[in-house]
């Protein structure tokens, strides 16, 4: 199916904006995507017509609101191909989802001396939660390195695994390099030794079809705001057998069955992991976003963004002095780069004045920057509403900035 890009663009009101009197060219999609009208409408409509706290309310609005929230859970279940809707936990985002696993899995399944394997290209949100666990348990982090192109050295994995390995926690797609990691292979290797795998899907769920049952992944986390949904809502998928086994992450309302000062019993899945009033407006708006992308088709989105990546790589490599950081043959739609000796911040500032939004810095992946011996990069990341014409604007903007610095 060919994508009707003009129709898609018209669904995103913000793309009409002018920045410094120039048309907005938004290439900061790996940080957060813009929202289609249907997502904004869902939020407004819910607050105007259907707002009431969910679960246990006897009145009409509460029941309607509860139904919308639980239907949203089913939409997420279908979107990632989970077996049961009780395996879908709503969180604030990928970060909270990983913190949940690090805490609940960590305190219940890890003993002193155990090891967790991560990769050298993790976002800080898949490093720091494990270091927080180290304050409670004497665990060790082992790291799968990547090579000079940013490809994970998967042959190292089997050497890192031993009897003390309790979990492998890997990013599906690197937000700093664009590398797509072979998670199918990692999961197979891990499972052959009975080790569960957590996949950080923050940069994959928005860009490629995901089926957690086909992958046989144990935990999969993603953020709503990167997949055209609202901020403040995300998802942790966990296999039922693991979610049953591990204790709650936070305590409060909703997650209990009975409470007394002597003893509390916990609610069933998924509520055991959803303490307090959930973001039921966010969940329904996330469902609207997932329905929106599903209608376009995740494979169509993946194909289109790959075409953008190919085009942009070709264009940008023609620029004198431009160096791409992250040249894995398997890449998602983002390009990290440097131009000569120009500081990323300076390049980003000039591009901004041309209406082009890119991200500069370490992208919350300082170990990646360290490996390349750089402070940061400029990152252009693509979404379904971007066009080749916008990539041309980016390329000529970079040329213009480079010329200014050469003078
Ligand atoms: N992991 C990766 C790979 C990411 O790119 C990000 C966001 N930049 C996160 C985790 C954290 O996501 P969030 O801030 O939405 O929790």
Domains for the chain: give ranges and CATH numbers.
5-28+297-406 (3.90.1150.10), 40-295 (3.40.640.10)
Q: In the predicted model, what is the mean pLDDT of residues 283-300?
A: 98
Report the distance separating Cα 144 and Cα 136, nearest Å: 24
Closest by CA position to 176, among listed 202, 153, 211: 202
Question: Is 178 within 8 Å of 333 (Cβ atoms)?
Answer: yes
| Average pLDDT in the chain | 97
Tell me the two tokens of residue 167: 């979990």
Percent of the chain with pLDDT over 90: 95
18-32, 286-300, 393-407 — which is least confidently predicted?
Answer: 393-407
Tell me the two tokens of residue 6: 């003009």
Cα 347 versus chain centre, distance: 26
Atom of ligand 1 nearest to the CA of 174: 3
pLDDT in tens, 245-260: 999 999 998 888 999 9
Closest by CA position to 169, among listed 194, 153, 148, 187: 187
Q: How many A from CA of 370 to the centre of ligand 1? A: 19
Report the distance separating Cα 360 and Cα 339, nearest Å: 12
pLDDT band at 84 (very low <50, low <70, confident <90, very high): very high
Q: How many A from CA of 46 to the centre of ligand 1? A: 27
pLDDT at 1: 62
Tell me the two tokens of residue 233: 């809502």
pLDDT band at 407 (very low <50, low <70, confident <90, very high): confident
Closest by CA position to 233, among listed 246, 218, 221: 221
Choose one of 90, 96, 202 to mutate for the ligand 1 pocket test, by most ligand atoms within 8 angstroms of C-beta. Answer: 202
Q: How many A from CA of 258 to the centre of ligand 1? A: 35
pLDDT band at 228 (very low <50, low <70, confident <90, very high): very high
26-35, 49-58, 228-237 — which is least confidently predicted?
Answer: 49-58
Percent of the chain with pLDDT over 70: 100
72-81, 232-241, 255-264, 332-341 — which is least confidently predicted?
Answer: 255-264
Q: What is the pTM of this model?
A: 0.98
Coil, helix or strand at residue 140:
strand
Tell me the two tokens of residue 242: 């693991």
Instruction: Establish whether residue 202 lines the binding site of ligand 1, counting it when its CB lies within 6 angstroms of any ligand atom.
Output: yes
Closest by CA position to 335, among listed 352, 356, 317: 317
Annotated catalytic residues are 364
- The DSSP-derived string for 18-76 is EETTEE-EE-BTTT-----HHHHHHHHHHHHH-----SS--SHHHHHHHHHHHHHHHHH
Helix ranges (DSSP H) in 248-335: 280-296, 298-317
Structure-derived torsion over alpha carbons of residues 231, 279, 242, 107, reported in degrees to the nearest 10: 80
pLDDT in tens, 209-226: 999 999 999 999 999 999
Helix ranges (DSSP H) in 223-358: 240-245, 280-296, 298-317, 344-353
Instruction: Establish whether residue 93 lines the binding site of ligand 1, counting it when its CB lies within 6 angstroms of any ligand atom.
Output: yes
Kindly calculate the radius of gyration of the chain based on its CA atoms and give it in whole angstroms.
22
Closest by CA position to 47, among listed 281, 287, 285, 284: 281
pLDDT at 253: 87
């Amino acid at each position: 199916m060919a994508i009707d890009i003009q129709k898609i663009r018209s669904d995103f009101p913000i793309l009409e904006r002018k920045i410094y009197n120039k048309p907005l060219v938004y290439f900061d999609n790996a940080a957060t995507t813009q929202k289609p009208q249907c997502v904004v409408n869902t939020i407004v409509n819910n607050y105007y017509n259907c707002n009431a706290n969910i679960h246990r309310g006897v009145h009409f609005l509460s029941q309607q609101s509860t139904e919308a929230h639980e239907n949203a859970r089913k939409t997420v279940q279908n979107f990632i191909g989970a077996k049961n809707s009780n395996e879908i936990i709503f969180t604030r985002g990928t970060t909270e989802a990983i913190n949940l696993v690090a805490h609940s899995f960590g305190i219940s399944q890890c003993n002193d001396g155990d090891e967790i394997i991560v990769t050298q290209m993790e976002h800080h949100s898949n490093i720091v939660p494990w270091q927080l666990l180290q304050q409670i348990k004497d665990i060790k982090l082992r790291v799968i390195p990547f090579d000079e192109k940013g490809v994970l050295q998967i042959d190292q994995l089997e050497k890192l695994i031993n009897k003390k390995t309790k979990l492998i926690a890997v990013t599906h797609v690197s937000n700093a390099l664009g590398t797509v990691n072979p998670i199918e292979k990692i999961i197979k290797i891990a499972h052959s030794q009975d080790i569960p795998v957590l996949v950080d899907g923050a940069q994959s769920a928005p860009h490629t079809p995901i089926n957690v049952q086909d992958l046989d992944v144990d935990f999969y986390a993603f953020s709503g705001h990167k997949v055209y949904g609202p901020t403040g809502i995300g998802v942790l998928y966990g296999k039922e057998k693991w979610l049953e086994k591990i204790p709650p992450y936070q305590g409060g309302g909703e997650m209990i069955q009975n409470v007394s000062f002597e003893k509390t019993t916990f609610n069933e899945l998924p509520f055991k992991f959803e303490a307090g009033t959930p973001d039921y407006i966010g969940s329904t708006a996330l469902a609207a976003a997932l329905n929106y992308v599903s209608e376009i088709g995740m494979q169509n989105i993946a194909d289109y963004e790959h075409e953008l990546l190919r085009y942009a790589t070709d264009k940008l490599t023609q620029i004198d002095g431009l160096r791409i950081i992250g040249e894995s043959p398997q890449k998602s739609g983002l390009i990290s780069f440097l131009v000569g000796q120009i500081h990323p911040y300076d390049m980003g500032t000039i591009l901004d004045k041309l209406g082009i939004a890119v991200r500069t810095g370490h992208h919350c992946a300082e170990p990646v920057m360290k490996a390349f011996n750089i402070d940061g990069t400029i990152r252009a990341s693509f979404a379904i509403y971007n066009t080749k014409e916008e990539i041309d604007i980016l390329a000529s903007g970079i040329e213009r900035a480079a010329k200014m610095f050469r003078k």
